[in-house]
Amino acid sequence: MRDNAGLPAKPLSPMTDRYAVIGNPIAHSKSPLIHGLFAQATGQDLEYTAIEGPLDGFADAVRAFIAAGGRGMNVTLPFKLQAFEIATDPMESARLAGAVNALKFEGDRVLAQNFDGLGLVNDIQRNLGMPLKGKRVLICGAGGATRGAILPIAQQNPALLAVANRSADKAHQLRTDFAAHTTLQTGGYAELAGERFDVVINATSTGLSQDALPLPEGVFAPGALAYELVYGKGLTPFLKQARAAGVAQLVDGVGMLVEQAAEAFEWWRGVRPDTRPVIQRLTVPLV
């Protein structure tokens, strides 16, 4: 028998701690596999399952999981904002993003974090060997993923952090929202004309819809890194654009996914799992 993590099912003892990822839909989630591999590698006694939360019953589903002994949850679409609302103790990462991707249950307290941005930064700096300090960094998109990424990137002291979005107003709103923490350059894609960036991150959902972004020519500096947040889709239109512009370092978001999972695992269990073998296992070639 195999469980939904694709790992051999193991008998649960009454001491086994329970974790889950909640989303809707959820069948596609790699989180049970990732956390199952982390638990195996670190010898942690835990069960990690996937829960399809009802669209109109997220808070009830979380309460039911807590009542059944749940210790923590990852939260994915479309519940990241609702998870923020039920948190009693949102950490800074969650407060600034206004969204949550990890919960920890302690008595009556619901602690909340957003590890997406930190996962992205860890992947770029540790795994891909590209320090962000002093770099010109561009994030395309102004949705939840960008909100989560701004502070962790700004904390690395890039020379410039720019956010471009189809709806420029949404990008400008981020400049206002983060003004106390960092100075963002914001606008639409056309305003990027004549600018070059060392790191270009696609945090739009165009990797799923197959639309191309209207990036001006010359936006990728020589030696640039092109980072697509969507993962497992091969060469997305953004990565094809980057390749056509001569970018050699093309990556998708599988490393970010595994790194944010590692942050949550350490937060819950106090043990840091090795991410590299898990990233390797989940990587789909970019062809």
Q: State the catalytic residues.
A: 80
By CB under 6 A, the residues from 72 to 131 that bind ligand NAP are: 116
Q: Is 229 in the site for ligand NAP (CB under 6 A)?
A: yes
Pairing of strands 102-106, 109-113: antiparallel
Instruction: Select from 81, 119, 146, 79 the least CA-distant residue to 253.
Output: 119
3: its two tokens: 């469980």
Based on CB atoms, which residue is closest to ligand NAP, 116 or 198?
Answer: 116
CB 177 to ligand NAP: min, Å: 14
Tell me which of 23, 70, 144, 273 binds ligand NAP, using CB under 6 A.
144
CB 73 to ligand NAP: min, Å: 16
Binding mask 156-195 for ligand NAP (x = CB under 6 A): ---------xxx--x-------------------------
Count of residues that interact with ligand NAP, criterion CB under 6 A? 27
Q: Taking contact as CB under 6 A, which single stretch among the options 15-23, 55-63, 141-149, 176-184 is the one that binds ligand NAP? A: 141-149
Tell me which of 256, 262, 264, 279 binds ligand NAP, using CB under 6 A.
256
Q: Is 137 in the site for ligand NAP (CB under 6 A)?
A: no
The CA distance from 147 to 164, in Å, is 12
Packing angle between helix 168-177 and helix 144-154, nearest 10 degrees?
A: 40
Q: Is 38 in the site for ligand NAP (CB under 6 A)?
A: no
Binding mask 190-209 for ligand NAP (x = CB under 6 A): -------------xxxxxxx
Based on CB atoms, which residue is closest to ligand NAP, 44 or 204?
Answer: 204
CB 259 to ligand NAP: min, Å: 8
Q: Tell me how far CA of residue 51 lies from CA of 65, 201, 266, in angstroms.
A: 9, 30, 21
Q: Is 142 in the site for ligand NAP (CB under 6 A)?
A: yes
Nearby residues of 177 by Cβ (< 8 Å), 6 or more positions away: 147
CB 15 to ligand NAP: min, Å: 31
Q: Taking contact as CB under 6 A, which single stretch among the options 27-35, 37-45, 62-70, 254-262 is the one that binds ligand NAP? A: 254-262
Tell me which of 83, 253, 275, 279 binds ligand NAP, using CB under 6 A.
253
Q: Tell me how far CA of residue 215 lies from CA of 241, 251, 263, in angstroms.
A: 9, 18, 32
> For binding to ligand NAP (CB under 6 A), which residues are involved?
116, 141-146, 165-167, 170, 203-209, 211, 213, 229-231, 253, 256-257, 260
